[in-house]
Homo-oligomer: A and B are copies of this chain.
Amino acid sequence: MTEFLPYPVERVHRLIEPGPTILVSTSDGTTSNLMTNGFNMPVRHDGLLALVLGPWDASFSTLVDTGECVVGIPGVELMEQVVDIGNCSGADVDKWGRFGLTPLPAQQVRAPLVAECLANIECVVEDDRLVEDFDLWVLRAVGAWARVPLPAAAEFHHRGDGTFSTNAGIVDLRERMIKWQYLQA
């Protein structure tokens, strides 16, 4: 079984800023659902995130009702399942069972972690003022977990048209980050 260790909430921007395709889990207390999302970004370096999740998603009403979700970062080995999760509805199918994914209890929210992901971020809704017009949620990370060891740059990126990119090398330009040195702490 994957071992997760706590990941600092104030560093979750490192998980989101590269532009991963993510999984979002929600739970109404009885059943939990999973969805795929590519419209997400960090908002601050202290654990604030934003994502777009609308009424076309079966998870929307649960997020509205509970104000909680978990963001999972899947690695490349889950790419096909993640695409398929985004192309069926939790209204019709138990996605956990169908795609062989394992819900694990979270600590701060009822939505489950995804055991097979690289990392999971427990989130609560911080602001919903733009939900009605743009389905845009601001979320606050209240806990986070990452695989130990966390594979380097193992996420993948939707390119908006059904094609996906994976990562080649990492380029270390930390020496040039003279204005933003605190990000390296």
Which residues of A are at the interface with B, using a C-beta cutoff of 8 A?
11, 13-20, 38-44, 48, 50-52, 79-80, 83-84, 86-88, 127, 129-130, 133-136, 138, 153, 156-180, 183-184
Contacts and interface: CB of A to CB of B under 8 A. Distances in A.
Number of identical protomers: 2
A159 B168 contact: no
By secondary structure, the A interface counts as mixed
A154 to B, nearest CB: 10
Contacts of A172: 162-163
Contacts of A14: 159-161
Given A159-B170, A160-B11, A87 B179 contact: yes
Given A43-B39, A138-B134, A184 B171 contact: no
A181 B65 CA distance: 30
9 A-B pairs with the lowest CB-CB distances in the bound complex, closest first: A19-B19, A14-B160, A162-B174, A41-B41, A168-B168, A162-B177, A18-B157, A87-B179, A165-B167
Contacts of A19: 17-20, 157
A176 B36 CA distance: 13
